[in-house]
Amino acid sequence: MTGNQTPARYHRPVMLAECIEALNINTGGTYVDATFGGGGHSLKILENLREGRLIAFDQDEDAKKQADNIQSRSFTFCQANFKYMKQYLKLNGVTLVEGVLADLGISSHQIDSPERGFSTRFEGPLDMRMDRKSTLTAAKLLNEYPEEKLHKVLGMYGEVKNAKTLARAIAQQRSVKKFETSQELTVMLKPMAPRGKEFKYYAQVFQALRMEVNQELEALEEFLVQCRDVIAPGGRLVVMSYHSLEDRMVKNFINTGKVFGELEKDFYGNPVKPFQAVNRKPVEASEKEVKENNRARSAKLRIAERIDMSIKL
């Protein structure tokens, strides 16, 4: 990659060294980067491979353009949602991999592109789709979702305290004029926000809309379940999340094999648990990294190893 298309400009990878160490790369192994973005993590994985292979995913066409700059024969890019990981691996002749990395959420490039509508700072269309072929935009959601559903989305994904009042205000506003731009939304939000905490409030609302537009938790659940099938015994699952709901899902999945629900036991009372956590607590970015890259402050990295179920007594 050259010029101003370097991954550092597109997105600065978070906890790069920690993620690579967590993958415990074997130079001949096959790995998945489920969230290519600007390719910061992918390039480091490739540096660590010799005869191995990396299959990367991203549903955003801008990420695909970044991936097109990688010339390595060990590299395959799939412009697809990672919820289809297993199918795409199969299409590429792969059934088992030695490690899967996922760095959830959106990239700095996506946030910093006004026309994508992810940012509270710029005027732009209320879009927020990572995959611009999908049909649900933030504007459509704001203009068409029933008030109760809006209430749920804002409360659950954004942890917005006055979600019910806000959902009502959105419904009133749209009956006068449909939402089109991010500026129209922030202007409407201003009087609803706690004084002095307006930007935090906007960020919570935007996050909730983004998560719903992209069905992020649903995709994460489908992806985690497939990790159980595609990661070889001894292989690593490495997931970095920036939202407490996502982190809880990853933690549950590692501890119980299920995103929601309890640990299953077999007939003999042995836990049916496909992964073993490598660290009890999530890894967090160093103070130095957080100082240099504010995005790293909320990152939680969870690492697990696939258990060989065939040797369970």
Q: Which residues are at the interface with ligand SAM (CB under 6 A)?
A: 7, 11, 13, 35, 37-41, 57-60, 63, 81-83, 103, 105-107, 130, 219
Query: By C-beta, is 14 or 166 nearer to ligand SAM?
Result: 14
Beta pairing partners, 33: 56, 101
Beta carbon of residue 85, minimum distance to ligand SAM (angstroms, whole number): 9
Beta carbon of residue 231, minimum distance to ligand SAM (angstroms, whole number): 17
Query: By C-beta, is 40 or 52 nearer to ligand SAM?
Result: 40
CA-closest candidate to residue 29, choices 237, 235, 305: 235
Cβ neighbours around 174 below 10 Å, total: 18
CA-closest candidate to residue 57, choices 41, 10, 127: 41
Beta carbon of residue 104, minimum distance to ligand SAM (angstroms, whole number): 6
Tell me whether residue 177 is exposed, middle or buried, using C-beta atoms within 10 angstroms of its C-beta: 0 to 12, 13 to 18, 19 or more: exposed
Beta carbon of residue 245, minimum distance to ligand SAM (angstroms, whole number): 14
Helix or strand or coil: residue 303?
A: strand
Query: By C-beta, is 58 or 289 nearer to ligand SAM?
Result: 58
**Identity of residue 307:** I
Beta carbon of residue 63, minimum distance to ligand SAM (angstroms, whole number): 5
Query: By C-beta, is 252 or 293 nearer to ligand SAM?
Result: 293
Beta carbon of residue 198, minimum distance to ligand SAM (angstroms, whole number): 25
Sign for the CA dihedral angle at 165, 168, 173, 178 comes to positive
CA dihedral 88, 251, 218, 32 (to 10 degrees): -20
CA-closest candidate to residue 300, choices 260, 240, 248: 240
Beta carbon of residue 188, minimum distance to ligand SAM (angstroms, whole number): 27
Sign for the CA dihedral angle at 137, 139, 142, 144 comes to negative
Distance separating alpha carbons of residues 119 and 207, to the nearest angstrom: 10
Nearest residue relative to ligand SAM (C-beta): 37
Q: What is the token pair recorded at 238?
A: 């490495």
CA angle 127, 132, 137 (to 5 degrees): 30
Distance separating alpha carbons of residues 197 and 262, to the nearest angstrom: 38
Beta carbon of residue 26, minimum distance to ligand SAM (angstroms, whole number): 21
